[in-house]
Structure 1
């Protein structure tokens, strides 16, 4: 999707420059944007979920310790790589095909058809790619692990997308200038992805806490049993 800048719309110089880059170098600009947002989603999600910093050796450098406290770690860079090499190119190609299919077609029925095609064809592909990538980033070691992750999360993610996508499209059509649609949808996706990230991390943190508490109880019961035997 390329953006055409309206000469009548006063824009912030940085935003105007971004739109110029989006128009002249759409894939590169989208890839850099997606990489940046994916990186920030991971870092912000870790902070907001209350995850403890990654452990560092006692003799680690000050920079290493600072990066650990800031949750700037290997996973954050893997997320950036996902945004740059998977999310942005895939979205660029799929949305481009959708736009070509409906180019020159106007009217309510074509808008609805485009929305349905986006939600029933494009969204499932992007959701599958997202979940498969997350499985690999989180350490999936086999195809079965990836498939299991996709099956477990597919309908949860796609249902949210089916709600958010039409609503954001209506808002864009009614209130957002066309030249700002790409940044607008980027922000929507960033916010949604960050919320998902925080939710998943909190669930994992709670599960790890419950597991640790269970182990503590088992150790206490084992110690009590040993004392009784004595």
Structure 2
């Protein structure tokens, strides 16, 4: 009985302190001027939860992810072309922003952005569509450890070299290369660095896809992986090219063919590539 009376006294004391609020602020820290009560647990992380819901709509049948996968099944090539073109253009813009590579007007949206969109839509997407389809067809229904290892080796020793060679060739043309010698120099200079990155990331990504992802989700997954890797390589190459151009400019104008008053007759590719021999 004494315990019941103590609780009633405590309730009355707290109510008087708050000022007759009906006991809504009851508790040890509910006095005048005290901190407000913590938010309910359901409110924590609300922004991230709402963002996830907006993106996937709960990953239900009407979600954006389900809609995208349905488009991949209905019209795979066109969906991949739109996706790859958009990601390639965004990749070029982000790489220019990271490397502080501006055009003559001081903007990061250079003429290479729409060119990269064309490359992504009409070169990268069809090539990736054929290569991934071939890889899945060759190893369809084979789930043993040996088959998975062979799939990784086939991807890294056959598919990756073809895709990287096409990528470097396209980058050289976009940068202004017009002769076979210029294109070959770009491919030779960048092939092994790009292959090393592929050999590090591709086995991990492919092993993850084999273990956790259905085949219909491989395309968006590899698109995301390629987007981040391509942005890193592109930004790194731009930084090297800009550093080479600054060194040449600091060495004097005589090295760019303008000291004696003659115009610089080199192509845009030669002026941009500098000492790096690449994009």
TM-score bucket of the superposed structures, by smaller chain:
0.7 to 0.9
1:156 — aligned with what? 193
Structure ranking higher on relative contact order (CA contacts 8 Å, 6+ apart): 1
Provide structure 1 residue ranges, at least 5 long, that are not aligned to the other structure: 1-8, 57-67, 223-230
Match of 2:101, SS?
A: coil
Match of 2:141, SS?
A: coil
CA radius of gyration, larger in: 2
Match of 1:203, SS?
A: helix
Which whole-Å CA distance do the structure 2 matches of 1:142 and 1:182 have between them? 34
1:19 — aligned with what? 69
Question: How do 1:1-230 residues align onto structure 2 when only pairs under 5 Å count?
Answer: 10=60, 13-52=63-102, 54-56=103-105, 69=107, 71-176=108-213, 179-215=216-252
Give yes or no for contact 2:148–2:210 (8 Å, CA) kept in 1.
no
Provide structure 2 residue ranges, at least 5 long, that are not aligned to the other structure: 1-58, 260-279
Q: CA offsets per residue over residues 150-186 of structure 1, 9 Å max, x none?
A: 1111111111101100111233344545553322221
Which whole-Å CA distance do the structure 1 matches of 2:141 and 2:211 have between them? 20
Change (3 A) 1:171 1:133: same
Between Structure 1 and Structure 2, the one with more helix by share is 1
Q: CA offsets per residue over residues 101-151 of structure 1, 9 Å max, x none?
A: 122222111111111111111111101100111111111121121111111
TM-score (norm. length: structure 1): 0.79
The number of aligned residues is 199
Give yes or no for contact 2:84–2:124 (8 Å, CA) kept in 1.
yes
CA RMSD after TM alignment: 2.4
Give yes or no for contact 2:81–2:122 (8 Å, CA) kept in 1.
yes
Which whole-Å CA distance do the structure 1 matches of 2:61 and 2:205 have between them? 21
Between 1:24-33 and 1:209-218, the stretch displaced more is 209-218
Give yes or no for contact 2:96–2:235 (8 Å, CA) kept in 1.
yes
Which whole-Å CA distance do the structure 2 matches of 1:200 and 1:99 have between them? 32
TM-score (norm. length: structure 2): 0.66
Change (3 A) 1:12 1:193: farther
